[in-house]
Chains A and B, each alone.
Chain A
Amino acid sequence: MKKDTKGLKPSNPDRRGHFGLFGGRYVPETLMPAILELQEAYGRIRRDSTFRREFQHILKDYVGRPTALYEAKRLSEALGGAFRVFLKREDLTHTGAHKINNTIGQILLAKRMGKRRIIAETGAGQHGVATATAAALMGLECEVYMGRKDTVRQAMNVFRMELTGARVIPVDSGTKTLKDAINEAIRDWVANVSDTHYIIGSVVGPHPYPVMVRDFQSVIGREARSQIRKKTGGLPDVVVACVGGGSNAMGIFYPFSREPSVRLIGVEAAGKGTDTDYHSATLTCGEPGVLHGTMSYLLQDRWGQIKGAHSVAPGLDYPGVGPEHSWFKDSGRAEYYVIDDQEALEGFRLLSETEGIIPALESAHAIAFLKKLKDELPAGSTVLVNLSGRGDKDVETVRNIFRGGATE
């Protein structure tokens, strides 16, 4: 397959949502009117100052933005002290992860479009919780699809969703995890397209989702950019974030993407190793293909069947990735590396011990990568890390592992 990386500016898809080869709208015809309606509605609110004010107001008073930018000096010392580390504290948002930025944006949009019902998919449950929360805030009916396996391993998040009034629908098809929950949400949407809005939780899916979710999450990078300027007088040398579907990474990368001096590094989950079948390193090991309405790198076999993904971090456990990341990879704008389960657990412990911050296992991948960076960065560099979520949801998993259990 040819990789056409010329002719388009990064982050500037064409009218049909293509980032070079990637992106697009690969959906059943029944969804096309809804996707076009969404694109049109999103185009309108993007320029609407009333919408922006309402969005910013909720982000401030309800979500708790701007989130802090914290210089992690003890972490930096533990890593040899050669570079400064700044953590963008998305773990401090309401519901405990960056996911809420997107669900607030989309629910406001859904309301303006006159939709009365919200559906969502969730893997670890963070996006499901953020969607259920936003739906409760707006008084909309909410149903969340979740793989049966995930409902068991993330039972507390199922209860949180139910407490906020959502109905959680366990999915028994396929691998019974996130990718199957997305399939089921799309099937629901096809059948209920007139009154339902589907809130996708990452920069994946058909156009305009990758662009829309990126825009709603870009508040992370915009805040961090002005905060780090104030603290250091300049731009960071490196920005690091974990990548599953890629929304927290795109949210922090995007406002730096036109600054050639800033290295953007995405960290994928190597799970039990990229030489095994148990990883989620889509950009590192995958091949371009079409899943869930978009063309992007995918974990697939030689016949184009989608493979299961694995990571100790349930939020990274996805065999696809946002199309703009695929574009960033092929155009060289961002670099993507891997961290395995074991390294991520060490990162989890490291941040907890040095800073008293328990990170989500997903974000622990970004922390763990700092160890690999330390030998290649010039002294005095500044590194910005997106601490995308807090680790409360993972403490039980980690406790079992540290006590000698298996990583799954």
Chain B
Amino acid sequence: MNRIERVFKRLRKRDETALIPFVTAGDPSIQATRDLVLEMDRRGADIVELGLAFSDPLADGPTIQAASFRALQGGMNTKKYFELVAHIRKTADIPLVLMGYYNPILRYGLEEFARDAAAAGIDGTIIPDLPLEEAGPWMKACRENGLANILLVAPNTPEERIKRIVRASRGFIYYVSVLGITGARTSLPPEVSGGLERVKSFTQKPVAVGFGISRPEQVKALSSSADGIIVGSAIVRLMEEKLSNVSPGEEDRAVAEIGEFIGSLKEATL
């Protein structure tokens, strides 16, 4: 059983929802990402989604686009990403899920990528531009290397498709809360819970919800129906604020402040 499955099993026993924060690797630096992931782990995050930057992130809103840009400007690449993961793995057992676009994986080579990702300590992948129809070769590479390829379901996905997606998805199912791209929203459509329940009616696998979730109140409201809650842009934006203008030596405090936010989100899942 891989780390992701273990976490959901443990949380299910306690009737608790997983908090899954997102951070773009290398934004603004590799060191900062490492510190942040470890801080998230300490503050109660259950799984961390670690973004691999891409030049053309077409499923992402302005916040994560900007983070990807900063990471690439800072020299982030696939090899450095794996080194960062391996470094985090030395001290943390938290499940790490790679969120990234398909082209960098293709370019590296599917088999090679899956092998090196697993060896570094990645547990699963989320590839927003790789729908079920095209995912076959990558899912095979994942299976052979013990990685969980997590598929997405959208609010407009028809029932018959949901059934096929939940059957193929590993680790958990990523339910996209809104029609649109990533980005913090002040309010979520009321039908999110209904959409989640619909997906859950087709599967025993855990279903996590993401896109647009930015506040503890929203996390609390969704906790009753979701097995996991993904918070991305809100964290990235906070980092942008806290880390962009810190003087050397003050990074620790900025990281701690983000940690407090993570703590408040985790509390809302209990």
Q: Which residues of A contact B (CB under 8 A)?
A: 1, 16, 24-30, 32-33, 173-174, 179-180, 183, 186-187, 190-194, 287-293, 298, 300, 302-306
Contacts and interface: CB of A to CB of B under 8 A. Distances in A.
A183 B176 CA distance: 19
A298 B104 CA distance: 12
B65 interface: yes
Given A300-B103, A305-B54, 16 more contacts: A1-B109, A25-B131, A28-B58, A28-B131, A28-B152, A29-B151, A29-B152, A32-B157, A183-B56, A193-B156, A289-B107, A291-B56, A300-B107, A304-B78, A304-B108, A306-B103
Contacts of A30: 154-156, 176, 179-180
Contacts of B10: none
Nearest to A307: B55
A30 B178 CA distance: 9
Contact of B133 (A25, A291, A298, A303): A25
B64 to A, nearest CB: 11
B157 A29 contact: yes
Nearest to A191: B180
B86 interface: no
Contacts of B107: 287, 289, 300, 302-304
A25 B179 contact: no
Contact of B103 (A29, A180, A290): A290
Given A28-B129, A33-B156, A293-B129, A304 B180 contact: no
A191 B154 CA distance: 11
Interface residues of B, number: 43
Contact of A33 (B79, B133, B157): B157
A26 B158 CA distance: 18
A29 B106 contact: no
Contacts of A293: 129
Among the interface residues B72, B104, B130, B133, which one has the most CB atoms of the partner chain A within 10 A? B133
B106 A16 contact: no
B33 to A, nearest CB: 17
B59 A28 contact: yes
A50 B153 CA distance: 37
B159 to A, nearest CB: 12
Given A173-B65, A290-B106, A303-B78, A179 B133 contact: no
Contacts of B118: none
Interface string B100-123: 011111111100000000000000
Nearest to A185: B58
Interface in B13-69: 54-59, 61-62, 65, 69
Interface in B163-222: 165, 176, 179-181
A209 B151 CA distance: 24
B9 interface: no
Nearest to A15: B133
A29 B77 CA distance: 26
B128 interface: yes
Given A29-B152, A190-B179, A303 B59 contact: no
A39 to B, nearest CB: 12
Contact of A303 (B56, B104, B176): B104
B6 interface: no
A290 B130 CA distance: 10
B253 interface: no
The residue among B77, B158, B180 with the most chain A CB atoms within 10 A of its own CB is B180
A32 B181 CA distance: 14
Contacts of A186: 58
Given A25-B134, A290-B102, A303-B107, A191 B58 contact: no
B181 A187 contact: yes
B161 interface: yes
Closest 4 CB pairs of A and B: A304-B107, A304-B104, A191-B180, A30-B154
A26 B130 contact: yes
23 contacts: A1-B109, A24-B133, A25-B133, A28-B59, A28-B128, A28-B152, A29-B128, A30-B156, A32-B133, A33-B156, A33-B158, A180-B56, A183-B56, A187-B61, A190-B181, A193-B179, A290-B103, A290-B129, A298-B103, A303-B77, A303-B78, A304-B104, A304-B107
A289 B129 CA distance: 12
Contacts of A194: 156, 179
Contacts of B77: 303, 305
A192 B178 CA distance: 11
A306 B153 contact: no
Contacts of B155: 30
Contact of A27 (B104, B131, B176, B181): B131
A304 B157 contact: no
Nearest to A180: B56
Contacts of A183: 56-58
A291 B56 CA distance: 8
Nearest to B72: A305
Given A300-B107, A303-B77, A26 B102 contact: yes
Scoring A180, A298, A304 by chain B CB atoms within 10 A of each residue's CB, the highest score goes to: A304
B55 A26 contact: no
Contacts of B108: 303-304
Contacts of A298: 103
Interface string B227-260: 0000000000000000000000000000000000
Nearest to A293: B129
A300 B108 CA distance: 12
